Structure 1
Amino acid sequence: MAATGDEKVPGGKSGGRGESREERGMHMEESGFVVQEMGPGVTMYVWPTRQFKTVSTRVVLHHPLGEDATETALVPQVLLRGSARYPTTQALARRREELFGTELGADVSKLGRDHLVWVGVGGISPRFVGAGSRLLRDQLELLAEVLFHPREVGSGRFDEEYTRQEKNVLRQKIERLINEKRRYGMFRLYQEMCQGDPFAIHRLGRLDRIESITAEGLFQHYREILAESPVSIFVVGPVDPQEVQTAIQNLFPWSKEGRQSLFAAGPYTPKPNGKPRTVREEQEVNQALLYLGYRTGITFADERYPALSLYSGILGAFPHSKLFIQVREKASLAYFAFSQLEPTMGLMVTSCGIDPANYERALDLMRAQVEAMARGEFSDEEMAAARASLRTGLRSIYDSPDALVDRTLLGVVNRRLRPPEEMIAALDRVTKDDIVEVAQQVELDTIYFLTRREGGQA
């Protein structure tokens, strides 16, 4: 769990100068994170806790999803190939070993319309190896080296060979997407459902843009992301927030001007006609995949989100939910059946894996469960089971630094941190009427069916 304001952490709670956190511009959020504004558009979140023996740091740059998604996806991979001080992957690996096996990673992810570029380090806390506070600074220094000082050939150009190699790797990743059928199906549903919205863009971008990317153009794109994107810095572990703040201020040369504010979040805007679309796609598959995409109009920051979470829990989020019991267990129509929320866009997906011959029956039965929820046809026992499962999942967030960061990042993007304990308390207040109210707002938008080609063999 998070440290309280009075708990001592390495380095002392006062930073050694008798100042309070408030006097240093820090404040403790109800989420348990100590929050510090580091400069225009740069915010640091520190979770000082003795629960973990490691210190995990992640720097996230919030870039808007757009046509440059392919270039954005390529940037962190090239950054990992080498820096000015450590120009090869071997040199970076040696430095990591010198820092007691510190882990180093970078990638892109997607939250709503945010394309998140992140670089992170994670390693043993100095207090467990007798390394003093210098180890933490060295770990942060390695992160800063990779993020701010990439290997540059000439003036304003990434290494040509590194760029070429990482373009090939990205090409292979995008080409392999079609082989991961469940992920591919989810992406295609969102792509069809949100046509014209940036959310429809895949986090890795598009295959047809890769060839035109140059080492010089990519370096310019990297500079723009670094200079203009809002930044969230997360640090979790047995640390002193003041020590972390000082190290980051000294090591991270953030630009003082031109950085944007976090982008406006909001639900997906429905199509004007409001009529559900059906999209059928044929491939060489044995098991067909059926996805139903719904608009809820309720995002993570909405007061009704706890009710929506409980609604999804009763409908299909767990093995004791309606979709699993009715579609898979009782009717034996599906290999799997579930529902899940997309909390930043206000969307919900129900899905199942079926024999193609069972399409109509499975579709009707899935829709019947949604209609039953809108009529309030669920029991107190179903509510209690869903509530208990949601509580268990929320409490497990505290067991992992990555889960803590991911949860807080979701809150940052949605302008409401909503930590696990707050969400658990909100779930406990949800009534059956609250669930029926959100259930009656859920509206089917798109049906996507991925099935075998006509005449194909099972």
Structure 2
Amino acid sequence: MFQKTELQSGVNLYTRQTAQFKTVSLAIKFTAPLTEETAAARTVLANVLEDSTAQYPTRTKLRQALEELYGAVFYTDTGKRGNEHILTVYAECVNEEYLRNPDAAVFEQLLSLVTESLFAPNLVNGEFDQAIVEREKQTVIDRIGSVYNDKTRFANKRMLELIRSGEPASQSAYGTEQSVSTVTGKSLKDTYDRMLKEDTIDIYILGDVDTDQLTDRAHTLLPFASGSRKTVSDLKSSEGKGNVVPKHIREKQDMKQGKLNLAYSTPVTFKHPDYPKMQMMNGVLGGFAHSKLFINVREKESLAYYCSSSYASQYGLLYIMSGIDANEEEKTAKLIEEQIDAIREGSITDLEIHQTLSLLSNSIRSAFDSAKGQIEIYDQYKLLDEDFSANQLIEKWKMVTKEDIQNMASTLTKEITYLLSGREAIDHE
């Protein structure tokens, strides 16, 4: 799908020539070990790099430069995958072949702007401008704080903290409010220097461009210095059933709808050979509107405003999230458990398997309808196979049998039942 070129140890270029889009897209991904402190600093850094450069020292001037490139897009983002923290720089512009002036060299100019943001940022006396840093710190703090106002997200975050405290599964890609508050212009410059020298770097260029020419020029266009780039080790798989004693925890806040979440561990993680089978099992259980949780808990019994499952393959976790009347906790939790037991016992229809296969297939195919989707999907699945294609994964899903789905449900070990409810709810404790 993408052609890989190693520019230096730890720095790889992935190019794909395609006429599918009328745009040319660039993504540069910086990967480092995930900690709360580094996540906070790197998220602030991402915002600051997007704000301005040495040549365009204000946000307004940088945005004006992008507008002159026929409305080109340039932004940054941070995320996590397993025990990795990923800072991404995205850029996209129209392919000049579709302009009245085909010699506009729009992508070349956009590439120059991106490289300036990385190699000639807006510094004051060798540090990042403290005023900009303080403004972007507040932006990140507000983003972190927003989770407390979204009780669905908060309940899931809290549940993960209770079973995976201090581990990547429960850590935010944005860090904590406290760790963000300690960032300064000087410390951010140190974070920036380490990122350029120590991160693993993956560069993606996708569009109807001369990829061979871009590959030849990549060393000049993206002059990353040689350094000791860190290789992030894989997470250890869950031990599965073991001697886990399920927790049952209830907490209260000022809210109306109760949030009932359950979490299960499994030894089947992203790189496990049974990964596609677990994806299918999750789809049958609660991944879609035809799934058992949706049909039986929400539709038939009307016990939940929503009820679905998610498979966090990087952490070997499957969790079920539902919005309920807190007084119906026991009845809802019992019915949820019955859906898992039904799959373990083989109560799976051919229609459920067919619908799950169709929806999983449509989901990955639709992701390939955008340039960013192709980059993001490939960036994840190249860890399994650098020749990855959507059809390869779809073929693996097609091979999954009812017995496979049963076996995947049998690997699940419940770790917690967590209820977040309003203070007026009946106290069962």
State the TM bucket, normalised to the shorter chain. over 0.9
Once the 2 structures are TM-superposed, how far is the Cα of residue 281 of structure 1 from its aligned partner? 2.3
Report the number of matched residues.
424
Q: Which moved more, 1:135-144 or 1:158-167?
A: 135-144
Q: Are 1:36 and 2:5 an aligned pair?
A: yes
Q: Which amino acid aligns with 1:165?
A: R
* Equivalent in the alignment of 2:219: 249
SS at match of 1:399: coil
1:53 to 2:22 alignment: yes
Pick one of 113, 121, 144 that aligns with 1:150. Answer: 121
Shift of 1:284: 1.4
1:163-188 CA deviation, whole Å, 9 max, x = no partner?
Answer: 11111212222222111222222222
Are positions 1:374 and 2:344 aligned together?
A: yes
Contact kept? 2:32, 2:230, Cα under 8 Å: no
Q: Kindly state the Cα deviation for residue 211 of structure 1 after the two structures are TM-superposed.
A: 2.6
CA distance in 1, matches of 2:152, 2:386: 30
Corresponding residue of 1:62: 31
In the alignment, the residues of structure 2 paired with residue 309 and residue 417 of structure 1 have an alpha-carbon distance, to the nearest angstrom, of: 20
Q: Does 1:138 align with 2:137?
A: no
Counterparts of 2:238 and 2:120 in 1: how far apart (Å)?
A: 38
RMSD: 1.9
Please name the residue that 1:21 is paired with: none
User: Do 2:4 and 2:14's aligned partners in 1 also have CA atoms closer than 8 Å?
Assistant: yes
Indicate which of 275, 281, 290 corresponds to 1:305: 275
Residue by residue over 1:350-402, the C-alpha shift from the partner in whole angstroms, topping out at 9 and shown as x without a partner, is 11111111111111111111111111111112111111111111211211112
Return the offset for 1:190.
Answer: 2.1
Paired with 1:125 and 1:436, the residues of 2 have a C-alpha distance of 49
Give the superposition deviation at 1:307: 1.0
Match for 2:130: what amino acid?
A: E
Quick check: 1:224 aligned with 2:194?
yes
SS in 2 for 1:210: helix
In structure 1, distance between residues paired with 2:243 and 2:133: 45
Q: Indicate whether 1:127 and 2:127 are aligned.
A: no
Shift of 1:257: 2.3
Residues 124 and 382 (structure 1 numbering): CA distance in 2 closer, same or farther, change over 3 Å? same
Residue correspondence of structure 1 range 410-429 to structure 2 within 5 A: 410-412=380-382, 418-429=388-399
Aligned-partner Cα distance in 2 for 1:84–1:111: 32
Give the deviation of 1:108 after TM superposition.
0.7
Opposite residue 257 of structure 1, the aligned amino acid is G
- Report the CA distance shift for 1:283/1:372 in structure 2 as closer, same or farther (over 3 A): same
Q: Residues of 1 paired with 2:238 and 2:129: CA distance?
A: 39
Q: How does 1:167-316 map to 2 (within 5 A)?
A: 167-268=137-238, 273-316=243-286
TM-score scaled by length of structure 1:
0.88
Task: Name the structure 2 match of 1:11.
Answer: none
Give the aligned residue type for 2:123: E
Q: Deviations over 1:46-91 (max 9, x none)?
A: 2221111111111010121113121121110111121111111111
Secondary structure class of the residue paired with 2:264: strand
Shift of 1:412: 4.0
Task: Note if contact 1:411-1:417 (Cα within 8 Å) is conserved in structure 2.
Answer: no
Deviates more, 1:131-140 or 1:397-406: 131-140
SS in 2 for 1:86: coil
User: Could you say which residue in structure 2 is the equivalent of 1:3?
Assistant: none
Q: Deviations over 1:298-323 (max 9, x none)?
A: 12222211111111111111111100
Secondary structure of the residue that 1:447 maps to in structure 2? strand
Contact kept? 2:327, 2:425, Cα under 8 Å: no
Shift in Å at residue 418 of structure 1?
Answer: 4.2
Shift of the alpha carbon at 1:340? 1.3
Determine the structure 2 residue equivalent to 1:452: 422
Query: How far 1:341 moved relative to its partner?
Result: 1.0
2: CA distance, partners of 1:415 / 1:447:
36
Q: Is 1:117–2:87 an aligned residue pair?
A: yes
Shift of 1:271: 10
Q: Which amino acid aligns with 1:61?
A: F
Task: Report the counterpart of residue 408 of structure 1 in structure 2.
Answer: 378
Matched residue, 1:8:
none
2:70 and 2:94 in contact (8 A); partners too: yes
How far apart in 2 are the matches of 1:261 and 1:210?
25
Contact preservation (8 Å) 2:240, 2:267: no
